[in-house]
Structure 1
Amino acid sequence: MKQAEKFIFFCRLMVVSILLKTTEAFSVRASLSLFYFDSTSNKSVSEHCRCGLYGLNSPLLSARGLVGIPVSDNLQACDENTHFTVTKPPWIALMERGNCSFAEKIKVATRRGATAAVIYNELGKGNNTVLMSHLGAESIVAIMIGNMKGMEILHRIESGMKVTMVIEVGKKHGPWMNQYSIFFTSVSFFIVTAATMGYFIFYSARRLRIARAQSRNQRQLKAKAKAAIEQLQLRTLKQGDKETGPDGDSCVVCIELYKPNEVVRILTCNHLFHKNCIDPWLLEHRTCPMCKCDILKVLGVEVKDVESVQVTVSSESSNVSTANEEDNRSETASSGYASVQGADGSVLEEHAPPENDNMHLVNNESQPPAVHALPHADNPSFEADETQVHEVRS
């Protein structure tokens, strides 16, 4: 899941970068030509800069005219009754950003007959500009310039100079670059979306395959365990048996004392339990709750095919299932192991059926005889004997 979260985070970063590139693709620069005329000295100065940015809703057209500023001290032109220093068309309104929306400023300039509206950024922003959004005010050209350039134009007008401004759309390669950016953005968005969908489809299919493989393996193992359980010996306890006496042991699974007429099952390791208790346990775990003896291996049941399929399943799922299985084993074994931990070799003799005793065997004689093996504690070579038995049977 951590890999999935990292991939989703990466996709989000890609989407944010794509949106930023999309915004940049729709921004169009404006070239400004400024002509300053001093009437006292009859001298004019001109300059040119590519320092404007067209508004998002502005028509991409050229504009020309004298620059007029608000007559009042409020240079933001948010009042509907704002008047400007120039009224003869064509003229361009110069206003400061702030106190109201861009659309309201542009509408005020439009009502006063301006050909274009130039809004300079607020104090402290330098020559930085932002992409203006001014829905409802799309009738005239609207651009934004930096604060330093706007204050320079303002001071020259206040000093008595006449300022003429020519606004032109950026160079011809600008629209081509915008189209290229839009194309790149579309392709990138498509690739990210396709990759995200493909990853989740692959992840879901993989999880479904793992779930099916695990379910199939569990069914196979249960079928093999059921066949192995049927080969184990059954015995009906009688009155007077050592297991039912005052010193008799209890079933490790249910922690209940053995009683006469109860049916017990004897495993390959000579440990016995209630049939109704041990059969469900063996069906799920296939091992003795006390010594962890694997009945499938001792009885020679082939489990290679199941294990090979389990190897192909993801290690994460197999580790989780193994951990759960070990927890269940340890919990049950620890609850009943204390009752049999102090038993010595005589316990095995008590559990083993005597030859001349008249005990009743419930299992069918036609079934193969159970393999009797000593537990690990009494027989250190149990593992070697188990291996030899498995090799002979295979």
Structure 2
Amino acid sequence: MKSPRHILAIIVFAQFCCVSLWFAGNGVMNDLVVNFNLQESALGHLTSAVQLGFIAGTLIFAILTIADRFPPSKVFFVCALIGAIFNLGIIWKGNGFLSILVLRFFTGFFLAGIYPVGMKIAADYFEKGLGKSLGFIVGALVIGTSFPHLLKNLSNLLSWKFVLINTSALAVLGGVLMVFLVPDGPFRKPGQKIDLGAFYKVFENSEFRSAAFGYFGHMWELYAFWAFVPIMIKTYALSHPENSFNIPFLSFLVIGIGGLSCVLGAYLAQKFGTRRIAFFALFASCICCLVSPWIFTLERENIFVGFLILWGMVVIADSPLFSTLVAQNTSPEMKGTALTIVNCIGFAITIISIQLINVLREFLDINDIFMILAIGPIFGLIALKKVPQSLD
């Protein structure tokens, strides 16, 4: 029988493999624009299509309480396999904007059976030390999300299809590892029936509600920042032509470094408290939003890059901590559904912030528009004050 440490390693690696599907389209966006005659605004629309698919998936998964009624490792495997197929479909030469939009939507839909279900599996294994476990899992999400940018950097001499083929292959591998090597956890309490009222019942708990609202504020900022990191770097490079940037690699670095901060934040939470560390990280990312116009005026490239790396760390460090607070403040038989519901609403919020920035780019100086992301952290900080302090 495998030890919990080995189980966690498998969950983390499988999660990394599968969530690389998330930003696979973003990693090759310039190639998609050229090969399929897309407009520059396609970045925001295709990113939002994945988010919208994820929202639809999590909504259906939550209403049907799939993550609690069925073996979660099997759910993970099936969704990884189908998500990989839809991701691979982008390489078809007959695609247009609408068909790519649909493919990204269904990729997002089946990611609903990967990301929150992976956290549910961890919660079934780690009643104590859940925050640290989720720190590793969300860290895997972050690195998996940034991985297509690294693949794009490595595939400059190869076809852009290389990125999509490899991310799909990784997703299949992750699903296979999960279904064959991770059985049901010892703390799993399966739900017995469909509960159409689950979406509302979980919010009757005021402490759960406060933790969820803090997460929603965090999500307003997170994916909008990730989606537009390459645009930020490109904007700075255009206004400072004396500097040369490897945009795919730097995008990977800025997003991927957050994986380290997730793990670091989880360890700090064990010593100083989950809510306290979440509050600190959310406050720091709020400050980054507010001073973001200043970074585009910096003449020194290393300071600009350093600031983006710092922002990339604090913008995600609180994510596993919010998931921990959510899981700790709901009943065991509803953990999977509660995590799925919170993800559903959180990702719905990301569409609003991404599309808002997409629209504002047409009317305002791009240097100034990222300040609007501070709205979410401010809201989240207010909600967090009502969550009880706890050591994980």
TM tier, shorter chain?
under 0.3
> Which protein is bigger by CA-based radius of gyration?
1
Name the structure with the higher helix share: 2
TM-score of the superposed pair, with normalisation by structure 1: 0.21
